[in-house]
Structure 1
Amino acid sequence: MKFNVFTQAQEFEDKAKPFLTENDDVYSLFYGVLQGIKAGRYENPFMATIEVNDVIVALFQMTPPHPLNLIIIDESKMDDIITFSVDELFKLKLPINSAVGVKSVVTTFSEKWQETSKCKSRLLMNQGLYRLDQVDQSLEKSPGSWRYARKDEAPLLALWFKAFEKDTGLKNSPMEAIKEKVNQFLEDEEVFFWEDQGKIVSMMKKARPSERGVTVSFVYTPPEERKKGYARTMVAAGSEELLKTYDFCVLYTDMMNPTSNKIYQEIGYRKIADSIHIEFMEEGL
């Protein structure tokens, strides 16, 4: 096996793209972050492959302080590939604080990484990855209509971003960082609002577009507007709009939240993979 580290995003994409394009629903996160690396949105990105006889069997990507994202292409040799990768990554002294990806792969990596680096771990997110090709037209819709968020609505979006982080257990971002992200969302026309009788009651955004697909993320309804079907209707309408441009939509759900999983399946989303995010900590913490 040969462990290859890349410094040029385009060179890495040339190697990874054939596999990622063929599997761009399951690995939409990996491919989307790679596009961000190419656009210069991350500092000190890490990109690597493992090859056997010039055939790629694994892909690695990290944009510190974000998690290591790993893909094992030949899962029949997963134990050997991960053992080799852990040894190579440990030699590089990379600051791997967490890992994300397909559940079976990240679970195996976590076990090996803990043995080698003498750390412990905890589960941050246990998620289902769902794909939509067509919205169920029999779905009952809530009153109102969707529209793109306007730039003058940035303050509301920033407040909802903060609330979304709290609801989902994500680390709290500084408000300045949130405002910067929100302004970029609005500049790129990525945010959809659901409005009922002139009041904004729910939202979603699109993210990480590829040649064929796009991710639905940041689905949020404020507490006082919940249990009225707004989120389901917003995601259905927003996804239907996105399907005019893309072949499919994908989204991640919290597997500990049966309500959200049920809602997305009612829209027409079907589960295609299990994904987990595991954090690593020093022993004793």
Structure 2
Amino acid sequence: MRIEITTDAAEFRARTESFLLRDPLRHTVITSSVAGHIAGLVSGTSTPRFLSLHAEDGAVAGVAMRVQDRDVYLGELPHKGAGEVADALAEVEPEAAGVEGLVGDATEFAERWSARFDIGFHESYRARLYRLGVLRVPDVPGALRRATESDTELCLEWSEAMYADGGMTWLPTESDTIRRRVGAGQLWFWERDGQPVSLAAHQIPVYKWSRIGLVYTPSALRGRGYASAVTAGLAQDLRSDGLDVCLFADVANRTAGKIYQAIGFHPTHEFVHHTFG
């Protein structure tokens, strides 16, 4: 296998587009990240790394990336390809703190990384990818509204709270990214009596798919169906634009899984995240 690494999102998309189009749902994280970089929606000064594996005839056989100083993300890879990806990224991204991908691939990558740097690793969480089937809109008082510039501070507050609730790291670049996404019309509220009660966002549509995430309801307002309402309302809006819709949920968060399945989402893939050290 030959490996190519580029920092140019447009170059990577041109090189791998036919491969990604074979399964755009499976690659939703990579395709939306690439599209976001090209559209200028991703902030920060870190250098992105987009990696492709190529067979002897030059055909793309796998993809991976590391962007925004986050952990390595693995797309579809050939058998035993994750170890080769680990070796290649270790040369240019040795500070990576973890990896996420399908269970077998992510574990193979983590084992190779662990051996190379003489460190351990542990599973930090599992995430399940869902796709929307028949949408069932819940009967919840209120209405969907797109966030505007005047809502930016509330969007930032709730986004950071969601990261804290999920045990995720709020990087210094996140605030600017949220501001850009508000400007791009990607954040939405569920409002009741003129007051925001829940927040949802979607990624930039790419290859006729759009992924919902984040979804957040303040703790004092939970248990009233607002998360279901904002997710279903946003999914309905995206579908009316001719898009397929997907989202992720933490496998350990059974409530989220039940909510999403109740409004019509079906599980398709399970991913694991390993943290090094």
Which residues of 2 match residues 39-118 of structure 1 at below 5 A? 39=39, 41=42, 43-53=46-56, 54-74=58-78, 78-79=79-80, 81-92=81-92, 94-118=94-118
Q: d(CA) in 1 for partners of 2:133 and 2:258?
A: 17
Q: Which residue of 1 aligns with 2:121?
A: 121
TM-score (norm 2): 0.90
Q: d(CA) in 2 for partners of 1:15 and 1:131?
A: 27
Q: Which residue of 1 aligns with 2:27?
A: 27
Equivalent residues, number: 273
Which AA in structure 1 matches 2:52? T
Q: d(CA) in 1 for partners of 2:250 and 2:238?
A: 22
For 1:142, which of 140, 143, 146 is the aligned residue?
140
What's the CA shift for 1:64? 4.6
Contact 2:190 2:196 in 1 (8 A): yes
What's the CA shift for 1:90? 3.3
Q: d(CA) in 2 for partners of 1:57 and 1:204?
A: 34
Q: Structure 2 vs 1, CA of residues 194 and 17 (structure 1 numbering), >3 Å: closer, same or farther? A: same
Q: d(CA) in 2 for partners of 1:246 and 1:229?
A: 26
| Superposition RMSD in Å | 2.0
Q: Structure 2 vs 1, CA of residues 182 and 44 (structure 1 numbering), >3 Å: closer, same or farther? A: closer
Q: d(CA) in 1 for partners of 2:35 and 2:219?
A: 34
CA-to-aligned-CA distance 1:182-210 (integer Å, 9 cap, x gap): 32122111111111122211110111320
Q: d(CA) in 1 for partners of 2:215 and 2:7?
A: 35
Structure 1: state its 5+ residue gaps. none
Q: d(CA) in 2 for partners of 1:93 and 1:203?
A: 34
Q: Structure 2 vs 1, CA of residues 85 and 230 (structure 1 numbering), >3 Å: closer, same or farther? A: closer
For 1:229, which of 225, 228, 231 is the aligned residue?
225
What's the CA shift for 1:91? 4.2
Structure 2: state its 5+ residue gaps. none
Q: Which 4+ stretches in 1 moved above 6 angstroms?
A: none
Contact 1:56 1:73 in 2 (8 A): no
Q: d(CA) in 1 for partners of 2:243 and 2:151?
A: 30
